[in-house]
Structure 1
Amino acid sequence: MFLKTHKTASSTILNILYRFSEKHNLTVALPYGNEPHLGYPRCFHSSYVEEFKTLENKFNIMGNHLRFNWQQARVRRIMPNNTFYFSILRHPALLLESSYVYYKTFSPAFRNSKDVNEFLSSPWSYYNLTEKKNIYAKNNMWFDFGYDNNAQYDDRYIQFGLKNIEQIFHLILIADFFDESMILLKDILCWDLDDVIYFKLNVRSQYSIQTLNPENKEKVKEWCALDWKLYKHFNNSFWIKIRERMDLKRLYKEVDLLQKRQKELMETCLFEETAIEHYQIKDKNMKPFQAGHARILGYNLKQDLDNKTLNICKKMIMPELQYTAHIYNSQFPFKKKKILV
């Protein structure tokens, strides 16, 4: 069970999980009907999962966006008792900048400011505690784990949350060390290297990235104090888990192998050397969803690939909404999911 947090490279991990599920003919807990998420931003309920009554406790993988219920009972109705729980976090300053651009037109707190630096210069001038769509503007990771993103900073409350997360989740990855995270995940799950190979998905164009000034980078730690505490705690535990399982020499030897294999696949699959602007994508079915002021990059595949290679490469670059629909239609062929991109 992967808790897919927002703006943390979680779409790339979901692609990894989707490919693994197809490789091993596994059953994925997918959003009901044409919904893209599992009820987000409402707290998760089992009814948000397609066929939850007939497939209860028979799902192998769960990874679409949901707001976790830290009491966990509702997820336990969906997933077997021996489920492995993991998630991913990102430095709050980088996350907030990404959220600002991505949700600029959706979140009132962002909408009324010129740019992310103006917002952070005086966040309370733009932020309304009662506005539900402002969840992306303050402690969004804390919210995704099921807690109150507007809660007052209180050490006992924070320790309560951290302890609960540690009791439920077996592993918390760190997006800022993504390749190291993939090696640790592979090691813990006893997967092969090719199981965690990835192409970056849902990545923004350089034209839609805003630069936080040093003062505002520090301000984020105060504005998103709950996220900052969450990130610091699990960044520390991440490296403790690494040291428990391998030394740094082995870690970076495997990271090097991962990057070499990734480069090989990119040279095999891609027409261009790297990700391209969305308007340059030739296959309309492979265009990623464009949100807010973000410009999401995608890929073109080479034209002369054999069928086996084409299938591998196509899954590597498939955007999240399209892949979700593909998995859904494979599992429930008589229902057919339609997702507007």
Structure 2
Amino acid sequence: MLKTHKSGSSTLQNIILRYAEKHNLSVVLPKEGHQLGYPENFDLADIIRAPWGQYNILTNHVRFSPDKIYSLMPRDTIYITILRNPIMQFESLFNYYRLGDVVRVRSLTDPLSTFLRSPHSYPRNYFTKNNYMYDLGFSEDDWNTPDKIRDIIRTVDKIFDFVFISEYFDESLILLRHAMCWSIRDIAYFSVNVRHRSSTRAVTPWMEQQIKKWNVGDYQLYRYFNKTFWQKVYKFGIKRMEKEKHDLQREIQIYIERCIDDVTVNGKGIWHLDGVYINSYKLKPSARNDVECIGMTKPELTFTQELVSKQRRRNKEFRLQNNGTLGRPFSRITLNGELRY
């Protein structure tokens, strides 16, 4: 799963990592931090190597590098990512990362609006223009004409089996669950890494138009995959989808009643800049040792650190069992955690 920025990808990642942990699957993990070299190009030297030589899941932030990722993942890997309307995504990026300070916008009251009046006059970085295309591995030279943008969209469409639409997260999850043969319980979730309403800013119609023009590559990408997404939904069946959404929301409500005592801000393990407030969850006393409740509320940094520790232990045990040798690579890990050669 190519983890994009400010698009609901942390919630999707949490679902995938919980599934990995439940079934003892092998995850591509960073040697340091919680990102796979981002924002630099992906380097295989940055990952914790599994001595058995193959992985089941890659879902931490990475700049997509097809050849390197293909070398890690099995041939039957499913490639997914998630997009959000770039208008709202850009507002979220700009304020979550306080990009006004980064590019030195001189405005204390509304740095985003000030930036949009003359975006070409500010320093450029990977967050300030077409961030989706950057995450997908492309650069400004790749998206500087309409024809090149269309070429990028065609390339992405060929590589990715499924593109989530953030605004229709439940529908996206249901389509994924059928593709992966997962249960409703597997896709139950609490939204994670969501800004508190005090850290969001209104976007005016004028700002919407400016963001569309400035991030035209991302906007065209989103429009295309929003259209193909709905083609999949209609093929799945509208009535069938509504029933499954109801079932999913009922399952989520059961977990809320079982797990959640309160919603707070900037809890332990939540990454945030000063002045930015992120929702986090306080568990009920009865749920503090509940593995499922803990997993569903676990922040990305904490989850990654725990999986890294677990991976290092597994690597050590594997080498001891194989007398220090790497052993032969296997094709996949079965759902009960056994190695199948």
TM-score (norm 1): 0.87
CA distance in structure 1 between the aligned counterparts of 2:99 and 2:274, rounded to whole angstroms: 5
- The aligned counterpart of 1:320 is 300
Task: Determine whether 1:162 maps to 2:146.
Answer: no
Q: State the structure with more CA Rg.
A: 2
**Counterpart AA for 2:39:** P
CA distance in structure 2 between the aligned counterparts of 1:247 and 1:75, rounded to whole angstroms: 34
The CA deviation string for residues 110-153 of structure 1, in whole angstroms up to 9 with x for no partner, is 6544432222222223x224xxxx21111100100011146554
Q: Which secondary structure state, in structure 1, belongs to the residue aligned with residue 82 of structure 2?
A: strand
CA distance in structure 1 between the aligned counterparts of 2:276 and 2:154, rounded to whole angstroms: 35
**Counterpart AA for 1:44:** F
**Counterpart AA for 2:259:** C
**Counterpart AA for 2:217:** L
User: Which runs of no fewer than 5 residues in structure 2 stay unpaired?
Assistant: 317-341
Correspondence list, 1:143-292, <5 A? 143-149=134-140, 153-244=144-235, 246-272=236-262, 275-278=263-266, 281=267, 286-291=268-273
Alignment check: 8 A CA contact 2:2 2:60 kept: yes
The CA deviation string for residues 242-262 of structure 1, in whole angstroms up to 9 with x for no partner, is 223x11111111111111111
CA distance in structure 2 between the aligned counterparts of 1:113 and 1:138, rounded to whole angstroms: 20
- The aligned counterpart of 2:338 is none
Shift of 1:35: 2.6
Paired residue for 2:80, among 81, 86, 99? 86
CA distance in structure 2 between the aligned counterparts of 1:6 and 1:261, rounded to whole angstroms: 27
Shift of 1:267: 1.0
Task: Determine whether 1:128 maps to 2:123.
Answer: yes
User: Which runs of no fewer than 5 residues in structure 1 stay unpaired?
Assistant: 337-341
CA distance in structure 2 between the aligned counterparts of 1:135 and 1:292, rounded to whole angstroms: 21
Q: Which secondary structure state, in structure 1, belongs to the residue aligned with residue 163 of structure 2?
A: strand
Shift of 1:106: 8.2
- The aligned counterpart of 1:38 is 36
Shift of 1:84: 0.6
Percent of residue pairs identical = 34
Higher relative contact order (CA 8 A, sep 6+): 2
TM-score (norm 2): 0.87
Q: Report the CA distance shift for 1:139/1:229 in structure 2 as closer, same or farther (over 3 A).
A: same
Q: Which secondary structure state, in structure 2, belongs to the residue aligned with residue 77 of structure 1?
A: helix
Alignment check: 8 A CA contact 1:106 1:292 kept: no
Number of equivalences: 314
Q: Which secondary structure state, in structure 2, belongs to the residue aligned with residue 138 of structure 1?
A: coil
